[in-house]
């Protein structure tokens, strides 16, 4: 079995070491420009077009992350880049769900207990007690109920919050009031106090966090975006903060990363920023999952995480 590997990240050596151990007997090589030698499997993160275009030998392309929007954008910009007979496979959880649940739980509790406002009072050296928001009316809406979103929604239920969830197709999650499809989208948004975005990034979801949709939330609502920066219309958020429609936002993802030093988000007092760390790809767990799926694929067994190219996830 011949395996191609590519990532622009600096930790490639560690990935190669662990993949070699998990795939004994595999002919594993790093793709370099001009390499068109045969390969059965590609393991990639943000690959260049030349790596994939024109290949008829690949059986599967394994993406080193849950989000496949970079590869799908490559296909949209250059139709025919993805080999027709190769399945595109994304990572499923590998420790990401727990990390995201921790991140979202922290953000929601911080806003419910008003710790963000206490930070500002501290800066002003003001000793003032604030009444916390009532938990029973502090409705959290989870936008996107895939593997990660469903886990986040369940964790919020366990914290005692009223939780809503929205997905493209109907889902049932114990303790979560679920909405599905375009006709139920406004009903999902209506009156939500904290909106948590976990949607996949597709052409249909681009800019979904816009002025119209933010206006449907409860006045003084909060936004937590841990999906993709392109989901958010940045100026619309700044306007909503200025108007008081949005009280504060926690952002982990941005249109341009790293976030430029001159960006207004850096100095905005009601925007909390983290550098795309809400769910890091855990190498050991990811390698185990990829190796197991490659083994199953070679045995002709079904595997999970296959991406529907048309739907984008």
Domain membership of residue 215 (yes or no) is: yes
Q: Where are the alpha helices (DSSP H) in the chain?
A: 12-22, 49-52, 69-77, 96-112, 115-123, 147-158, 185-189, 211-214, 234-243, 283-298
pLDDT at res. 163: 98
Query: Is residue 42 included in any domain, yes or no?
Result: yes
20 and 159 in a common domain: no
The per-residue pLDDT for 310 is 87
For residue 155, give the nearest of 112, 195, 103, 117 by alpha carbon.
Answer: 103
Phi, psi of 191 (to 5 degrees): 80, 5
The answer to whether residue 310 sits within a structural domain is no
One domain for residues 182 and 287: no
Whether 122 maps to a domain, the answer reads yes
pLDDT of residue 1: 95
65 and 155 in a single domain? The answer is no
Is residue 309 included in any domain, yes or no? no
Same domain, 139 and 215: yes
Q: For the sheet with 140-143, list strands across it.
A: 176-180, 163-167, 140-143, 194-197, 221-225, 246-251, 271-273
**Is residue 311 one of the residues assigned to a domain?**
no
Assess if residue 305 is contained within a domain: no
How much is the pLDDT for 151? 98
Is residue 67 located within the same domain as residue 160?
Answer: no
Residues 68 and 169 in one domain: no
Residue 160: inside a domain = yes
Same domain, 130 and 58: no
Q: Say which CATH number the domain at 215 has.
A: 3.40.50.720
Please state the separation of Cα 158 from the chain's center in Å: 22
What's the rounded Cα separation, in Å, for the pair 145 and 142? 7
Residue 163 parent element (H or E): strand 163-167
pTM of the predicted structure, to 2 decimals: 0.93
Do 182 and 127 have their domain in common?
A: yes
CA distances from 103 to 11, 96, 147, 149, 227 (A): 24, 11, 16, 12, 12
151 and 222, same structural domain?
Answer: yes
Shared-domain flag, residues 260 and 293: no
Q: Tens-of-pLDDT digits for all 313 residues of the chain? A: 999 999 987 678 899 999 999 999 999 999 999 999 999 999 999 999 999 999 999 999 999 988 899 999 999 999 999 998 999 999 998 999 999 999 999 999 999 999 999 999 999 999 999 999 999 999 999 999 999 999 999 999 999 999 999 999 999 999 999 999 999 999 999 999 999 999 999 999 999 999 999 999 999 999 999 999 999 999 999 999 999 999 999 999 999 999 999 999 999 999 999 999 999 999 999 999 999 999 999 999 999 999 999 888 8
What's the distance, CA 128 to chain centroid?
37
Report residue 118 as tokens: 């206490």
Q: What is the pLDDT of residue 12?
A: 82
Domain hosting residue 290, numbered range: 2-94+281-299
Which of the residues are catalytic?
A: 228, 276
Residue 291: what pLDDT?
97
Total count of domains within the chain:
2
Q: Are residues 85 and 117 in the same domain?
A: no
Are 259 and 210 contained in the same domain?
Answer: yes
């Amino acid at each position: 079995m011949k395996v191609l590997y590519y990532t622009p990240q600096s930790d490639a050596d560690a990935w190669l070491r662990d993949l070699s151990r998990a795939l004994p007997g595999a002919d594993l090589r790093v793709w370099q420009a001009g390499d068109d030698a045969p390969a059965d499997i590609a393991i990639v993160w943000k690959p260049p077009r030349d790596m994939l275009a024109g290949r008829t030998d690949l059986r599967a392309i394994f993406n080193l992350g849950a989000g496949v929007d970079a590869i799908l954008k490559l296909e949209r910009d250059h139709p025919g880049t993805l080999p027709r007979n190769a399945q595109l496979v994304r990572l499923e959880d590998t420790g990401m769900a727990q990390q995201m649940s921790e991140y979202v739980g922290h953000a929601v509790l911080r806003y419910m207990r008003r710790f963000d406002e206490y930070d500002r009072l501290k800066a002003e050296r003001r000793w003032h007690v604030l009444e916390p928001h009532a938990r029973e009316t502090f409705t959290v809406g989870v936008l996107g109920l895939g593997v990660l979103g469903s886990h986040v929604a369940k964790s919020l239920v366990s914290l005692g919050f009223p939780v809503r969830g929205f997905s493209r197709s109907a889902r049932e999650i114990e303790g979560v009031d679920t909405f599905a499809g375009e006709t139920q989208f406004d009903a999902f948004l209506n009156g939500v106090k904290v909106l948590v975005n976990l949607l996949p990034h597709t052409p249909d979801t681009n800019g979904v966090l816009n002025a119209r949709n933010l206006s449907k939330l409860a006045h003084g609502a909060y936004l937590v975006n841990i999906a993709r920066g392109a989901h958010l219309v940045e100026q619309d958020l700044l306007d909503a903060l200025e108007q008081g429609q949005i009280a504060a936002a926690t952002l982990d993802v941005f249109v341009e990363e790293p976030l430029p030093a001159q960006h207004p988000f850096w100095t905005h007092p009601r925007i909390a920023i983290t550098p795309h760390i809400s769910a890091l790809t855990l190498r050991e767990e990811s390698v185990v999952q990829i190796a197991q799926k490659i083994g199953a694929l070679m045995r002709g067994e079904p595997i999970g995480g296959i991406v529907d190219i048309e739907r984008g996830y």
